[in-house]
Chains A and B, each alone.
Chain A
Amino acid sequence: MTAGGARVELPTYDPQSYGAVCATVDGCLVCGDVAVPVTVIEPGEADALCEDEHGARGAVGVELVVPVIQGDRLLVHGGVAISRLAPDRAGDSPERSDRPHDRAQGRESA
């Protein structure tokens, strides 16, 4: 990116915890209702190492959704998992669904 002829380096993003991925254009975690879907990599009773869809990893408080096992998909808000995600519905075919939306699958946050 350049500004006024000078090259400007964009800052690299280093999330301290999950729920932190909050680009302005995608809404804002801090004002409430944004949450990030992650997958459990290393389960734990209080915190679990989780990975988001972009491959970034971090600790998530999982006490509200325990027990968790590797591969569980969680919804994280403010560094804490608040919900489990329904199993992937990739196998649903359009013929099996009476609602257009059900033909889609996946991302849970905005």
Chain B
Amino acid sequence: MRFVDEFRDAELARTLGTEIAALAEPGRHYKVMEVCGGHTHTIYKHGIEDHLPESVELVHGPGCPVCVIPMGRVDDGIHIAKQPDVIFTCFGDMMRVPGGDGSLIDAKAEGADVRFVYSPLDALKIARNNPDKEVTFFAIGFETTAPSTALTLMRAKAEGVTNFSVMSNHVTIVPPLMALLESPDLRLDAFIGPGHVSTVIGCRPYEFIPSDYGQPVVVAGFEPLDLLQSIYMIMRQLDQGRSEVENQYGRVVPWEGNLRALEILEEVFELRPYFEWRGLGFISQSALALTDAYSDFDAELRFNIPGVRVADPKACQCGEVLKGVIKPWECKVFGTACTPETPIGTCMVSSEGACAAYYNFGRFARSKARAGA
């Protein structure tokens, strides 16, 4: 199949695997974090680790926005969804994320009008078609998704749509990377940078990682050869004693990002002083709230949300998984009490979550891990 087979060529993958192994220094262990959940998914779907030497370990990062939403925010969304005459819209994966007292899909089963959409523009369309209802969009996502929410809000404002609001849970990628780099739990050698986030923000925001922490960053695409080539580029930097930001995904990612998208993000959103991330705790200036110019569309102001902080279930170790401290199969409830059908933690809900990727593709079974221990 054109456009697919070329980036999944097994012979080229083996060649890259051999070249990566040749660059690995004997006796050294390399820890490379893929920040993006999409990369985690590719790694397990295509068995990328099978092409890597044992000394190169891939660590999964916090780049799945569903996975990092704390339970209290889900509860706030459910509170809005249960208000009379409200149509609550969200992306599909968000429907199943457990809050402190059930999920949005549970709320729907109890009678709330909860609908999933593929685009915030679809939520605005629902608002136009239902002028007697309040339509709220539960916005999640990194800088990849935030521009579509911003564009939707600009259209709503221009059209004078008054029955539409957004509960913003948009987060930004750089602050959690800083938090990880400062974490004493984790020592990394390099980062595989997120691909589509970088189409918006470009590559410059990562420059502090090589300059301040001496670690290479390679922005990568999402096909198997993209990832293998990115790991090769990282290993080449480490071998040559360099640490730089490189862009493997040049066919999509401009070095400067999308300046128009950055402009509208600036107009519609402002940084929150702090925001809670599941597993990472409160991180300052890591999430986006609506600016004063768009406060009329702010669901948090329109509805009196409880804003209660809810602790994660004790059995769930999503926090450690999101920080890359443990592998999914090391969690006590992985694959037993927690499965994609009955998730306890968010990492099992989202198909980009590390736990779901391990569970679905079974690249590293618990039995294999024990045998190797």
Contact = CB atoms under 8 A, between A and B. Distances in A.
Contact of B199 (A20, A79, A82): A82
A61 B121 contact: yes
Contact of B122 (A16, A35, A85, A89): A16
A22 B251 CA distance: 22
B164 interface: no
A64 B264 contact: yes
A77 B2 contact: no
A77 B250 contact: no
Interface in A70-110: 75, 77-80, 82-83, 85-86, 89, 99-101, 103-110
A106 B63 contact: no
Contacts of A19: 118-119, 148
Nearest to A87: B251
A101 to B, nearest CB: 4
Nearest to A109: B222
A1 interface: no
Contacts of A50: none
B142 interface: yes
A82 B226 CA distance: 20
How many B residues are at the interface, by size bracket? 35 or more
A53 interface: yes
A71 to B, nearest CB: 16
B246 to A, nearest CB: 12
Interface SS of chain A: loop
Contacts of B258: 64-65, 82-83
A84 to B, nearest CB: 8
B221 A106 contact: no
A64 B118 contact: no
Contacts of A79: 118-122, 148
B239 interface: no
5 contacts: A32-B141, A79-B121, A82-B147, A101-B12, A101-B225
The 5 closest A-B pairs by CB, nearest first: A79-B119, A110-B222, A30-B91, A104-B6, A106-B3
Interface of B: 2-4, 6-7, 9, 12, 15-16, 36-38, 41-42, 45, 63-67, 91-94, 116-122, 140-142, 144-145, 147-149, 151, 155, 194-197, 199-200, 221-223, 225-226, 228-229, 248, 250-254, 258, 260-261, 264, 350-353, 360
